Amino acid sequence: MTRLVLKPGKERSLLRRHPWVFEGSVAGLEGRARPGDTVEVVADDGRFLARAAWSPSSKIRARVWTFDQNESIDHAFFKRKVAASVARRQRHPMLSGQDGLRLIHGESDGLPGVIADRFGKVIVLQLTSAGADKWRTAIVAGLTQATGCETVYERSDSEVRGLEGLEPVSGCIAGELPVETLTIVENGVRMVVDVVGGHKTGFYLDQRDNRLLTGQLAAGRTVLNCFCYTGGFSLQALAGGASSVLSVDSSAPALEIARTHLALNPQLDAARAEWLQADVFEALRQFKRDERRFDLIVLDPPKFAPSAAHADRAARAYKDINLFGFRLLNPGGILMTYSCSGGIGQELFQKIVAGAASDAGVDARIIHRLSAAPDHPIGLAVPEGEYLKGLAVEVG
Ligand code: SAH
């Protein structure tokens, strides 16, 4: 097998089971390999370290499949890994009954570059690395076998594929999409999942538990949900007994789906919901001018900082919306604020929010620290996997 030889000392992170080999760690390749081929990663003294997928176009030159010298990378390997990932969800009491569930969460489930979300009987697959792309057939077979789902729809249209030298791919790769609108029930609320045209795989499963908490905190409160997408937080707030819910997003298609959710959930009081298509940065300023106030505000913006290089500009954007969030809260109100930027760590995010509270002149305390739901685990060896962080902050 082709060997990927590391520079002296560059084996350390692999010995800690971190699964990436960066460009700068590579001394050379002994033999030939095409993108996605499995190579044996060895230290400069020839010691075996891992088997990994070769990715010549990416700064991450190889992503590890296994640290075990006795394990070969073949069809059976993917079947085992996929089955184990699915079984972990089945064992978790908060996950086993969910019909919207992340089944595979990339590196943290030992499958770099592989994301698989299940929505009822449909699995949406996203492959973002050369190695994952090469093993598509084995991964799909593993998924259909482990779940009994027949339909797998590929949404490998994320920009990060470009970094791996891969073209965007989307479409059905197993079975057929149901003709009727696909829906899931999340904590008692029926939600539409647009697997073909929606963001990411069609739905933000990572916020499931935080949406539930929002519902629990919303009783009797006036709620403002910023960056509402298809209304996940808004619907849970209504279900939790919010007195009114104003939801803002710039995307017309997302809001269109959001509105249909009220018809799909007749148990919710549609008269309490208002949807606004607007830029959140402008809408917050307008609410301030109009002297509107809210008891609970959710800020769940898109990724302002995809990497650390964007951190400065992103920090200013987070500061801005959080500042206005605090200014628009009634005394005793709660701000539920998130960042899904890998480039902004938990500590920095908390500092930004603290700065916003201080500029707004409010007394504020963290009442909940929030993160992604447990079907989006963070491998202890891969802290980079931690992207979503949030704070529930009470003021006054
Ligand atoms: N909270 C949502 C997910 C939010 S995703 C959920 O629980 O499902 C981020 C959303 O922000 C997207 O719907 C996108 O359309 C919207 N968005 C991005 N920039 C925006 C802006 N400047 N103003 C308003 N909405 C914006």
Q: From the alpha carbon of 230, which atom of ligand 1 is closest? A: 8
Biggest CA-to-CA distance, the chain = 70
Nearest-angstrom CA–CA distance, 48 and 45: 9
Residue 159, pLDDT above cutoff 90:
no
| 24-39: average pLDDT | 98
| 186-213: average pLDDT | 96
Same fold, 75-183 and 204-395: no
pLDDT digits (tens, 9 = 90+) for 38-87: 999 999 999 999 999 999 999 999 999 999 999 999 999 999 999 999 99
- In testing the pocket of ligand 1, which one of 199, 250, 296 has its CB within 8 Å of the most ligand atoms? 250
254 pLDDT band, cuts 50/70/90, is very high
Nearest-angstrom CA–CA distance, 70 and 299: 48
Instruction: Please tell me the CATH superfamily of domain 75-183, with its number.
Output: RNA methyltransferase domain (HRMD) like (3.30.750.80)
Residue 122, pLDDT above cutoff 80:
yes
Least confident segment among 8-12, 131-135, 198-202, 205-209: 198-202
% pLDDT > 70, the chain: 100
Nearest-angstrom CA–CA distance, 329 and 194: 33
299 strand-pairing partners:
226, 337
Nearest-angstrom CA–CA distance, 191 and 111: 28
pLDDT at 310: 85
Alpha helix positions (H), the chain: 12-15, 75-91, 130-134, 136-147, 160-163, 208-218, 232-239, 252-264, 280-289, 311-327, 346-360
Instruction: Please tell me the CATH superfamily of domain 204-395, with its number.
Output: Vaccinia Virus protein VP39 (3.40.50.150)
DSSP H/E element including 224: strand 222-226
pLDDT at 67: 98
Residue 279, pLDDT above cutoff 90:
yes
CA 303 to ligand 1 center in whole angstroms:
9
pLDDT at 308: 78
**Protein residue with least CA distance to atom 21, ligand 1:** 279
pLDDT at 322: 98
Q: Where are the domains of the chain?
A: 3-66, 75-183, 204-395
Residue 102, pLDDT above cutoff 90:
yes
Nearest-angstrom CA–CA distance, 37 and 53: 5
pLDDT at 261: 96
pLDDT at 340: 95
| 158-185: average pLDDT | 94
CB 394 within 8 A of CB 332: yes
Nearest-angstrom CA–CA distance, 391 and 271: 29
- In testing the pocket of ligand 1, which one of 249, 256, 261, 341 has its CB within 8 Å of the most ligand atoms? 249
pLDDT digits (tens, 9 = 90+) for 303-359: 998 777 888 999 999 999 999 999 999 999 999 999 999 889 999 999 999 999 999
| 211-221: average pLDDT | 98
pLDDT at 287: 98
234 strand-pairing partners:
none
**Which option is the CATH number for 3-66: 2.30.130.10, 3.30.43.10, 3.40.190.10, 2.40.110.10?**
2.30.130.10
% pLDDT > 90, the chain: 95
CA 83 to ligand 1 center in whole angstroms:
33
CA atoms within 13 A on the CB side of 363: 3
Mean pLDDT score of the chain: 97
- Nearest CA among 340, 346, 342 for reference residue 372: 340
- Nearest CA among 248, 258, 342 for reference residue 299: 248
